[in-house]
Amino acid sequence: MAKINFGGVVEDVITRDEFPMEKAREVLKNQTIAVIGYGVQGPGQSLNLRDNGFDVIVGQRKGGKSWDKAVADGWTPGKTLFEIEEAAQRGVIIQYLLSDAGQIETWPKLKPHLTTGKALYFSHGFGITFNEQTHIDPPADVDVILVAPKGSGTSLRRMFIAGKGLNSSYAIYRDATGKAKERCLALGIGVGSGYLFETDFKKEVFSDLTGERGSLMGCIQGIFQAQYDVLRKNGHSPSEAFNETVEELTQSLMPLVAENGMDWMYANCSTTAQRGALDWRHKFYAATLPVFEDLYKSVASGAEARRTIETCSKPDYREKLNEELSQLRDSEMWKAGAAVRKLRPENN
């Protein structure tokens, strides 16, 4: 392990130097990895594992778009692509990458195939942490492990193709074989992690749900919309409002933050921008801190899990989801965004 100082706190992390790909392949030699689900995380993780030389098969319900996508990605029906139950039966390591609602629905069919010595792998702590609601209860004689890439499966794959890695957390819930940790780390390296940091299932899901509802997705959309609306109400054009709200942030400033941090980005902006940002950050912190505290309490209480399970398990969920997403897509702000993206130099 490498000891890294994170803002004064020293953590142990696993990099590709401590756990090289050759070691990962040796740990998982002769162990078929069955990736169950080909939706959000499944494609990126399975393709990266395959390209890294691991023995991988995919389990997916036949006849849908995800099955067709798997075929288009080079998975062969009857050879490397199977129905979920057959893939689970064939796999030694079962990567359970269905949606949380899908995991709940499929669990009774999957569980019988978790025989002694196998490993059950998650990329989200939801099913285990909230097992009183999900009823996901792995047998005592299988390893239960987690590798959670800190980004979408699409990002994981794109970064892999670019020769980069996406940071991931890892956790061991149950070590039934005495080999759970090395299996977990090998899989983490195999799926394309940049480095791995340790957590547990509960902390993973608490931080994940908070982040998704907060600064990663929910909060940022709310802030975008609020600023855009204020600019529009004060007479600014859609193009100007969108560029000052979203385009400049995503295309110009966030790459600078990613490169060297917020202070470096501030230092490379105008003095007027620096002064305003340094002054107003305190007001935004004070305004949003209570919201984040309420959010974390809602996650920790299980309320967010109940909401997710109740809504996502309804038969008309996809239809209702598309309605909600269309409200975003059809809003003036994101229509303006579509027009702005088309005007980027790389699209002309």
Which residues are known to be catalytic? 124
Q: How far apart are CA 227 and CA 246, in angstroms?
A: 10
CB 36 within 8 A of CB 84: yes
What does residue 82 show for φ and ψ, rounded to 5 degrees? -140, 165
> Is 305 strand, coil or helix?
helix
What tokens were used for 290? 């209570």
Q: How far apart are CA 52 and CA 101, in angstroms?
A: 30
- Give the type of residue at 143: D
Closest to 153 (Cα-Cα) out of 233, 213, 73? 73
Q: How far apart are CA 59 and CA 38, in angstroms?
A: 8
* DSSP assignment letter at 77: B
Closest to 101 (Cα-Cα) out of 298, 302, 308? 308
Q: Which residue do the tokens 């009183």 mark? A: 132
Q: How far apart are CA 189 and CA 16, in angstroms?
A: 7
